Structure 1
Amino acid sequence: MTPNVTESSTLSEEELKNFDLKKLVLENGDYTIFPDVEYPPLVSFEHDDPGKRADPNMTSLFEKATKIEKLTPKLGTVIYGLQLSELTDQQKDDLSLLCALRGVVFFKKQNITPYQFVQLGKYFGPLHVHNAFGHPPHFPEISTIYYDRKSAVIQEKFRYYRSSDAWHSDISFEEQPGSLSFLKIDTLPSVGGDTTWADGYAAYDKLTPTMQRIVDGLEVEHTGEYHRQLAAAKGTKIRRPFIDHVHPLVRTHPLTGMKSLYLSPIFTSRIVGLSLHESEAILKLLNDHVIGGHDFQVRYKWEEDDVAVWDNRCCVHNAIVDYFDEGLRHGYRVTPQGERPFYDPSSKSRRQMEQEKAANGNN
């Protein structure tokens, strides 16, 4: 299990339940803290995915929502009329499966509080407490999203930055990376600040059979060097040492059984067992494949108080940094950890599964 990390708080339980980060950021600006503390090591655990208990038809979600909208044929679903803070256990189980099938699911006009956000995330697994990222007071499980045009440091850092360089799957450098991620955006500039997601199932299917045979079974080292460099630039403490981990390049999803290209460009450093030149060539090819894969991407235009829930095991994402001259973008994220990534040689691609269903007369 993950460490039980708590930090001193003078708030009562009632005050914590009503803590309002949107109000705090609008009144006080950047509230993010980087505590000078040390966290204990993460400990391996057996992940019990709620999606295993899901209704295959996900009726509890589809029949209770006022509207369901697909953003692309395979990736991205918008749900209207449901509040995440009021989901039943069956709806949470069904949500886990829906994310595994559709990659990312969006909920409109959510009134969920930070306290409720943490409680919701815990249902899906132990929440990751980041060893270098900033978080709000009282909630170490929450990662703060805060970028403001008033910050000269941020303006300079991103002056020559390309958003296409930052595709990633959350905390893939951990032994047991994120399963789902929950992100609420509650404050937006007048324009800009979209987020993009790419479908790992489709990214794999878009490779030729020859390339699929090359990448199947390969393993990649994931490192936290990106966050080490950020912490050094900010002069903030790394609260738990980063430990590099090796994960399969093609990952089998435990709920769908389908193969997904498991790529996390800002965290992947090398392919194990290949020369530097071979590793760099294949990783560049695959990174370019994902970056240019507009036919298996979705770009989401946020509205205030939207929540995105996505499955890190079958999609990668990337924030579009185009809004620094427009104003403040603020939100917060929690990420439950899942199983250690694995590759099952007998697993199949989504295309293979769909072809087999069609051949058997199942739609």
Structure 2
Amino acid sequence: MAPSVAELKGDEATNPALTGKPKLSHPFYYPYFDVKEQFPPTQLFEHNDPGARADPAKPHLLTANTTTRDISPYIGTEITGVQISQLSKEGLDELALFAAERKVLLFRDQDFKDIGPERQIEIAKHFGPIQRHPTSGNVKGYPEFHVVYRDPEHDVFRDYRGRDRASGVSWHSDISYEKQPPSTTFFFILDQPGVGGDTLFLSQVEAYKRLSPEFQKRLEGLRAVHSAVQQAEFSEQRGGPVRREPVETEHPLVRKHPVTGEKALYVNEGFTRRIVGFKKEESDLILNFLFNHVAKGADFQIRATYAPGTVVVWDNRVTAHSATVDFDNTVLRHAVRLTPQAEVPIPA
């Protein structure tokens, strides 16, 4: 069995980086940066979505012991009575389908003693090869983990979005610049403020549906450039790692989910830079409209609230999200993400 987080707490005594830090519930996952660490370019691969194998009734996931509560009609379901670490392959297939249908799933009261790093990685790999982030902190010896960490001395995400911004909201879909961006994504909440530090999520499917049929037709067939350059430059300026040459990739503005067939907008202000074939003014006009459209869509957004032991699962193909940095910087927030990659986006 993989070592439990409880068994790994001894790292706190031997890891000099933790000296003087707030008391971490899971010090094993403290962010690790090695500027010499290098990853090869990501390679194209054949992807078979596990949701396509799932029983639509989801008998291995939604058992008699399971309770669900939809957060909104369009996006988000809270689930209790399921331990992700105990799901069979059939249950994980059904999880992929349920995440595609409901966009975001919040699994409460997960027992992290049964889900150490190897089991976490094993589960995530069921959904595709795990992206190794080119610039973020990872876990020493486990580069598959993307570490989200904020304490009084470390607030890299605030620096990234800009300290002179009036709002900390920054909508994005994770690593959308990859040739094969992610699908079913896992976010493990380790330490969390008592109030605040939530995540905003929105349905890109419903955002697309709200547009007029004529405008929808004009967006379909267009392609946009998603770029990792700004992210890499920011890390380099801070003396951080750039483990892989930053890529720029064209994706359809409207993509189709391979299992549900739903059409979704696929633009986000975090990584989408320009529409292919358009002049700058034309591209900016359309992209800024779409960015504004999704940002103002409170009726197809949710605010996902967390507690330690929550595992959040979402489908990056049909959602966008933003952190909410609404808690004092003396409060610790700590989580880790595993980001399996999926198919090359399918045009609508």
Quick check: TM above 0.5? yes
Give 1:91's aligned residue. Answer: 91
CA distances 1:243-273 after superposition (whole Å, capped 9, x unpaired): 1100001000001111101122110010001
User: Partners of 2:318 and 2:309 in 1: how far apart?
Assistant: 25
Gapped regions of structure 1 (runs ≥ 5): 1-12, 345-363
Query: Aligned partner of 1:196: which letter?
Result: L
What root-mean-square deviation, in Å, do the aligned CA atoms of Structure 1 and Structure 2 show?
2.3
- Greater CA drift, 244-253 or 322-331: 322-331
Cα gap change, 1:180/1:14 in structure 2, threshold over 3 Å: closer, same or farther? closer
| CA apart distance, 1:114 | 2.5
| CA apart distance, 1:200 | 0.8
Gapped regions of structure 2 (runs ≥ 5): 13-17
Match 1:287 to one of 285, 291, 304: 291
User: Partners of 1:163 and 1:154 in 2: how far apart?
Assistant: 9
| Structure 1 residue 301 corresponds to structure 2 residue 308 | no
Secondary structure, aligned partner of 1:60: coil
Matched pairs, number? 331
Q: Where in structure 2 are the equivalents of 1:81-120 lying within 5 Å?
A: 81-111=81-111, 112-120=115-123
Query: Aligned partner of 2:32: which letter?
Result: I
| CA apart distance, 1:150 | 3.5
Cα gap change, 1:217/1:146 in structure 2, threshold over 3 Å: closer, same or farther? same
Secondary structure, aligned partner of 1:251: strand
| Structure 1 residue 248 corresponds to structure 2 residue 252 | yes
CA contact (8 A) 1:225 1:267 kept: no
| CA apart distance, 1:143 | 0.3
Percent of paired sites with the same residue: 37
CA distances 1:278-303 after superposition (whole Å, capped 9, x unpaired): 10010000000000000000101111
User: Partners of 1:253 and 1:22 in 2: how far apart?
Assistant: 43
Match 1:146 to one of 144, 149, 153: 149
Cα gap change, 1:256/1:235 in structure 2, threshold over 3 Å: closer, same or farther? same
TM-score, normalised relative to structure 1 = 0.85
User: Partners of 2:75 and 2:106 in 1: how far apart?
Assistant: 11
TM-score, normalised relative to structure 2 = 0.89
User: Partners of 1:147 and 1:68 in 2: how far apart?
Assistant: 31
Give 2:15's aligned residue. Answer: none
| CA apart distance, 1:153 | 6.9
Give 1:213's aligned residue. Answer: 217
Query: Aligned partner of 1:286: which letter?
Result: L
CA contact (8 A) 1:191 1:323 kept: yes
Secondary structure, aligned partner of 1:61: coil
Q: Where in structure 2 are the equivalents of 1:1-363 lying within 5 Å?
A: 15=3, 20=8, 24=12, 26=23, 31-35=30-34, 36-111=36-111, 112-151=115-154, 159-161=163-165, 162-164=167-169, 166-344=170-348
User: Partners of 1:16 and 1:81 in 2: how far apart?
Assistant: 21
CA contact (8 A) 2:220 2:253 kept: yes
Secondary structure, aligned partner of 1:99: helix
User: Partners of 1:271 and 1:141 in 2: how far apart?
Assistant: 31
CA contact (8 A) 1:180 1:335 kept: yes
User: Partners of 2:311 and 2:270 in 1: how far apart?
Assistant: 24
Secondary structure, aligned partner of 2:287: helix
